[in-house]
Amino acid sequence: MLELLRRDEQSPEIPVRFYRTEAGTAPVLDWLRGLGKDDRHTIGLDLMRVQFGWPIGRPLVRSLKDGLGEVRSSLPSQRIARLILCFHGQMLVVLHGFIKKTQKRPRMTWPWQNGE
């Protein structure tokens, strides 16, 4: 689905909306507000690149299953953020945001390793 959206010549940008719950809260916006100013700025610039430069691919945007996409942001705080998004009509909808955790498996310690 991400590949199917085409901008018309009259509209240089894709409208962006953040998912809202039935209660009216926007969890992604709440998450963003909890980040530092520099990290928010970086994520905002990356989202703007998608909004004004679609279609765009790796390394900024990765296509996921079922019409979802992932915006990848390398933050000044030395962390990696992800935004999960989709298209609804001619609109980009940001569904979820999170800080990526390491892919390294934690080192397991066993009782017999310490001579116990």
CATH of the domain at 77: 3.30.2310.20
Is the residue at 106 inside a domain?
no
Structure confidence by residue, pLDDT tens digits, 18-65: 999 999 999 999 999 999 999 999 999 999 999 988 777 777 888 888
Domain carrying residue 78: 7-101
Is the residue at 91 inside a domain?
yes
As for how many domains the chain has, the answer is: 1
Is the residue at 108 inside a domain?
no
Give DSSP secondary structure letters for the chain: -GGG----TT--S--EEE---TTS--HHHHHHHTS-HHHHHHHHHHHHHHHHH-S--TTTEEE-GGG-EEEEEE-TTS-EEEEEEEEETTEEEEEEEEEPPP-SPPPP--GGGGT-
Is the residue at 110 inside a domain?
no
Is the residue at 112 inside a domain?
no
The pLDDT score that the predictor gives to residue 34 is 97
Q: Looking at per-residue confidence, does 72 or 1 come out higher?
A: 72
Is the residue at 107 inside a domain?
no
